[in-house]
A and B are shown apart, each in its own frame.
Chain A
């Protein structure tokens, strides 16, 4: 698998898109620091961008890479290589290179600005960790979709729809249900509902880390009570790991049954 990972990585390192992605984050980091003139504020602004954009890029990049490397995949399938290593190697190649672009692109300007001397380092670290989790989750989802759909257009469409649902529609439905059932106690419901969506979960984790949960009102207090504890933090990281493990397991399963 390491050899496949090496070649996927090598392939991606020569792709224009990896650099576009890297320079985009570099630019974003520099501009935000310049405009905010403050590390903590820049982290908050960044969060809003990352939460939406990282899943989108992971999804599109994952689907695109899978369809584009079909020839490479077919070549490898006839070689003495385990099937699961081919697909997991390619998946890890995409996910790691996207994560590297994110970490380096954002990390460099923040380090130059003096991240290590400031108290915002842990906030920034939690931002990057959530970003890496989201990259791994959405790349895996993208691979799942691409593996199950021969038709590229259908695959792309589906991938965008999944992103749209988790990033935008889910929150809308969540909010609507809160308004509709406002006469009932909703703290348990909202806890569970936000656990089920990796984007929401990451957002809450960062917000709580930034200690601005007061902005969230009563629900914020409930969230703080749960997520702020060791058990809450453990549970949410566990759920994020599940969000990675389940799609990856499914990649392995579909790949072992697929005809090429």
Chain B
């Protein structure tokens, strides 16, 4: 367990830096998590993060990267639905890294 400070609030995380409580998430903590990884969140990042939050809301799981890639392609266009685009945004792995900033648990099947 650890904690992250953002904008005067404290957020609990698990040992890998994922938020302990999905409901404690807000945009401030996402920005701080990204800064820790030397990443500045742009609109393109937010598109993916928001997509993941909607996916989780609907299905109660974080999608596998293959499923994420396909679904992004369908929702945001073919130019974005490929691993090259997603890995450029999230070099530590789109599913793992983007899910972390979105406040979701680590995707099922990720080790």
B partners with A: no
Where the two chains meet, the residues of B that have a C-beta atom closer than 8 Å to any C-beta of A are none
Where the two chains meet, the residues of A that have a C-beta atom closer than 8 Å to any C-beta of B are none
